[in-house]
Amino acid sequence: MTGTPVQQSATDTRRIAVALGERSYEVRIGAGVRHDLAEVIAGIGARQVVVVSARPPQETPDPGVPSTLVRARDGERDKNLSWVEELCRRFADAGLTRSDAVVSCGGGTTTDAVGLAAALYHRGIPVVHLPTSLLAQVDASVGGKTAVNLPHGKNLVGAYWQPRAVLCDTDYLTTLPRREWVNGYGEIARCHFIGAGDLRDLPLADQIAASVARKAQIVSADERDTGLRHLLNYGHTLGHALERATDFRLRHGEGVAIGTVFAGRLAGALGRIPERRVTEHLDVVRHYGLPTELPAGPGTGELIALMRLDKKATDGLAFVLDGPAGAELVSGIPADVVAATLDSMPRADA
């Protein structure tokens, strides 16, 4: 494994450092780590906090200082600027100052919106994330990307604002519905191809820790997404297109899973990887119980048009692809090769 070494404490908590100079922070992973919140808040020196939680009050840990609980609006529909304004108003009502802190407790839409509100309020106050979905634990809560949606598209208004700590409590995952697991495992599967190593036979907490460790290493090297951080979007170009083409009936992790199988086939078609590595893409995605076929419905032309809108595509069609030296962003890929690769993919029945 090439990720940042995972520190495992006596209590079985995995600790991973996101190294960003004086903005460095720790991600703790394990059962019950939410109860470290009071220690983390004491370390920040906050005198009071606002906790924005999508979980019932009894599942929100004691921050150890006076607190105000705000019920989160967890979901893409409410991930917008009016919710961010409402959050900032609630921070002001509570009298939060720049030396206080905000805590988010919920899925990726909660950590994204609360993170952005924390970035904007008083031009930035400390935020601690307690992600409660697998997707948020392995990806969304780590790395400081905060954003909300516009009617024009997802995550179009945001800021880089690193948390002071992330507490990934695996107890929160025990009640997740199956599609939520799939959503998170899509991101874990793509880690196999971006340098995290083979995570298939590891216990869940170690899969999360290894995914976070690889992300921490990438974010430390390229916080502002100017190069290396593109690797985190492995499988995402087709994945995002599939989400949009199905009006988000396909979940993010499902799209990324199909996009990962496609990325393997495309890399094979371009002669970048041998056939056995193309098959490895299918095997890994299948191992996690993820979809591998294109959904019925969206046609090749529609998917290519959507993929041309990808933010990375400054020169024709661009994909993060595996190759002899590992994954990298490859631009200017001919549309006919992309179309032929899409057409070669099996399709689910309508």
Question: What is the closest distance, in whole angstroms, from the C-beta atom of residue 281 to ligand GLY in the complex?
Answer: 19
CA atoms in the 13 A half-sphere facing the CB of 146: 24
Say which residues have a Cβ less than 8 Å from residue 90's Cβ, sequence separation at least 6.
50, 52, 68, 70
**Is residue 311 within the footprint of ligand GLY (CB under 6 A)?**
no
**Is residue 134 within the footprint of ligand GLY (CB under 6 A)?**
no
Nearest-Å Rg of the Cα atoms of the chain is 20
Say which residues have a Cβ less than 8 Å from residue 316's Cβ, sequence separation at least 6.
308, 331, 332, 333, 334, 335
Question: What is the closest distance, in whole angstroms, from the C-beta atom of residue 143 to ligand GLY in the complex?
Answer: 4
**Complex with ligand GLY: residue 162 or 341, whichever CB lies closer:** 162
CA atoms in the 13 A half-sphere facing the CB of 54: 22
Using the rule CB under 6 A, give the single segment among 129-137, 175-183, 224-232, 281-289 that binds ligand GLY: 224-232
For CA atoms 203, 207, 208, 212, give the dihedral sign. Answer: positive
Give the residue from 109, 129, 283, 134 showing the smallest Cα distance to 207.
134
Using the rule CB under 6 A, give the single segment among 204-212, 225-233, 295-303, 330-338 that binds ligand GLY: 225-233
**Complex with ligand GLY: residue 139 or 243, whichever CB lies closer:** 139
Question: What is the closest distance, in whole angstroms, from the C-beta atom of residue 229 to ligand GLY in the complex?
Answer: 5
CA dist., res. 158 & res. 156, Å (int): 6
Say which residues have a Cβ less than 8 Å from residue 77's Cβ, sequence separation at least 6.
none
**Is residue 229 within the footprint of ligand GLY (CB under 6 A)?**
yes
Question: What is the closest distance, in whole angstroms, from the C-beta atom of residue 11 to ligand GLY in the complex?
Answer: 28
Question: What is the closest distance, in whole angstroms, from the C-beta atom of residue 44 to ligand GLY in the complex?
Answer: 23
**Is residue 240 within the footprint of ligand GLY (CB under 6 A)?**
no
Question: What is the closest distance, in whole angstroms, from the C-beta atom of residue 243 to ligand GLY in the complex?
Answer: 14
Using the rule CB under 6 A, give the single segment among 5-13, 22-30, 139-147, 312-320 that binds ligand GLY: 139-147
**Complex with ligand GLY: residue 14 or 240, whichever CB lies closer:** 240
Among 126, 143, 163, 295, binds ligand GLY (CB under 6 A): 143
Question: What is the closest distance, in whole angstroms, from the C-beta atom of residue 304 to ligand GLY in the complex?
Answer: 23
Retrieve residue 178's tokens.
Answer: 């199956």
Say which residues have a Cβ less than 8 Å from residue 269's Cβ, sequence separation at least 6.
337, 340, 341
**Is residue 154 within the footprint of ligand GLY (CB under 6 A)?**
no
CA dist., res. 10 & res. 177, Å (int): 31
CA dist., res. 176 & res. 131, Å (int): 12
Among 79, 129, 145, 244, binds ligand GLY (CB under 6 A): 145
CA dist., res. 220 & res. 234, Å (int): 18
Question: What is the closest distance, in whole angstroms, from the C-beta atom of residue 29 to ligand GLY in the complex?
Answer: 17
CA dist., res. 228 & res. 221, Å (int): 7
**Is residue 139 within the footprint of ligand GLY (CB under 6 A)?**
yes
**Complex with ligand GLY: residue 17 or 94, whichever CB lies closer:** 17
**Is residue 232 within the footprint of ligand GLY (CB under 6 A)?**
yes
> Footprint of ligand GLY on this chain (CB under 6 A)?
139, 143, 145, 225, 229, 232
